[in-house]
Amino acid sequence: MTVAVHVVVSGRVQGVWYRQTCIERARSAGVTGWVRNRPDGTVEATLEGERPAVEALLAWMAEGPPGAVVDHLDLTDRAPSGATGFEVR
């Protein structure tokens, strides 16, 4: 079953390779979508894929790469859009 979610990650998540590591993990898990830094210091992403793959990526996003300090994930379910690939915006 394909699911989609919009996520905003708060904490120390910029300047710690969060986006790049997220891309690598998403692509290896077969999750599609995008990730970007926001001016307020958060990271925003959309994730789409099979539920176990999206849930595994969300679990990683709650921890982040070494150097990150994740305070909170704000999740919103979305309708799958048929996205292909995973990119930085």
Mean pLDDT confidence for 42-60: 98
70, 61 contact by CB (below 8 A): yes
CA separation for the pair 43, 29 (Å, rounded): 20
Residue 88 lies in a domain: no
Residue 36 lies in a domain: yes
pTM given for the model? 0.95
Give the number of domains in the chain.
1
Residue 87 lies in a domain: no
pLDDT of residue 56: 97
Per-residue pLDDT of 67-81, as tens digits, reads 999 999 999 999 999
pLDDT of residue 1: 86
Is 12 one of the catalytic residues?
no
Number of other residues whose CB lies within 10 A of the CB of residue 59: 10
Is 37 one of the catalytic residues?
yes
Residue 22 lies in a domain: yes
Residue 19 lies in a domain: yes
Residue 31 φ/ψ, nearest 5 degrees = -90, 135
pLDDT of residue 9: 98
Domain at 45, CATH number = 3.30.70.100
Range of the domain at 64: 2-81
Among candidate residues 12, 25, 37, 78, the one labeled active-site is: 37
Per-residue pLDDT of 22-39, as tens digits, reads 999 999 999 999 999 999
Closest CA to 71 of 3, 27, 35, 18: 18
